[in-house]
Amino acid sequence: MIRILFTIIAGVLLGGIVHLVAVLALPRIATNDAYSRLTPMTKLNAVTPLPLADPNNAPMPFMDPAFALAVCRYDLSGGSIKLTVPVSQAYTSVSFYTRNEVAYYAINDRSAGKKVIELDLMTEAQHNELPEDEDVTAADRLIIDSPTATGLIVLKALAAEPGLMPQAQASLAASSCKVQTDAPAKQAEAPRGKR
C-alpha cells in the first residue's frame, strides 16, 4: 500500500516538474512568436501601421478593434533610436517588448504630459557612452534602456467612436522611429593646465 502511494506521489511530482519546465521553456522555443509574425510585414527601425483588428486575420492575438495599432521593430546595433509619437485625441500608449516578448517599459499620453511622446531608446552600454550634460536634466530627455538589442515597440491610439478611427490612424502614421545618425555630443575638452 505504501509502495503504491509513493509511486502516485512520485508520478504527480514528476508530472508537475515536466509541466512547469514545458510552460517556462515554450516561449523561448516557439518559432511563431509576435516578432517572427511581424517581421515580414514591418520595416526595421520604422513605424508600420497594422491593419484593423479582424477575428479571421489578426497579426497579434487579443487586438482590440477600438485601437489603431502600429509597430516599430527595432535593432539597436546600429545606434540608438529616437521615437516620436503624436498624441491622439482620446488616448495614446507606447509599450516596449524584448525579442522574446517580455514587456519592460510603457508610457501613455497622460504620463508624458505633452502633445508628443518623445524618447530615446538605447542599450545600457550606449547610455553609458553618453556624455553627462549639465544643461540637460532627466525631465528634458526621456531615455529608455532596452535589455536587448532587438525588440518591438507597440503604439496604440484609441478611437473612442468608430468614426474617429481615421484620426487615430493618422496620429500613428505621423509617428517616427529612426536610428539617430548623429553621434552623441562629445564632452567639451577640459582646459589644459598651465605649464
Percentage of the chain exceeding pLDDT 90: 37
186 — pLDDT class (breaks 50, 70, 90) = very low
Confirm whether 188 is domain-assigned. Answer: no
Q: Are residues 22 and 76 in the same domain?
A: no
Residue whose cell numbers read 547610455: 127
Q: How confident is the model at residue 193 (pLDDT cuts 50, 70, 90)?
A: very low
Q: Per the domain annotation, does 187 fall within a domain?
A: no
103-150: per-residue pLDDT in tens? 999 999 888 777 888 989 998 888 888 777 654 545 557 889 999 999
Per-residue model confidence (pLDDT) at position 189: 36
Q: Is residue 162 part of a domain?
A: yes
Three-state SS at 102: coil
Find all residues with CB under 8 Å of 193, minimum gap 6, and list them.
Answer: none
C-alpha to C-alpha distance for 32 and 86, rounded to whole angstroms: 31
Asked whether residue 108 falls in the same domain as residue 22, the answer is no
Q: Give how many domains the chain has, as a whole number.
A: 2
- Beta-carbon contacts of 59 under 8 Å, excluding residues fewer than 6 positions away, are 37, 38, 41, 50, 51
Label the pairing between strands 143-146 and 116-123: parallel
Cβ contact 78:152 at 8 Å: no
- Does residue 13 sit in the same domain as residue 76? no
Nearest to 104 by CA among 65, 151, 57, 35: 151
Full domain range(s) for residue 93: 34-179
C-alpha cell recorded at residue 106:
510603457
Instruction: Enumerate residues 6+ apart whose C-beta is below 8 A from 26.
Output: none
Is there a domain that residue 117 lies in?
yes
Whether residues 112 and 75 fall in one domain: yes
Q: DSSP secondary-structure letter at 190?
A: P
Query: Could you tell me if 78 and 21 lie in one domain?
Result: no
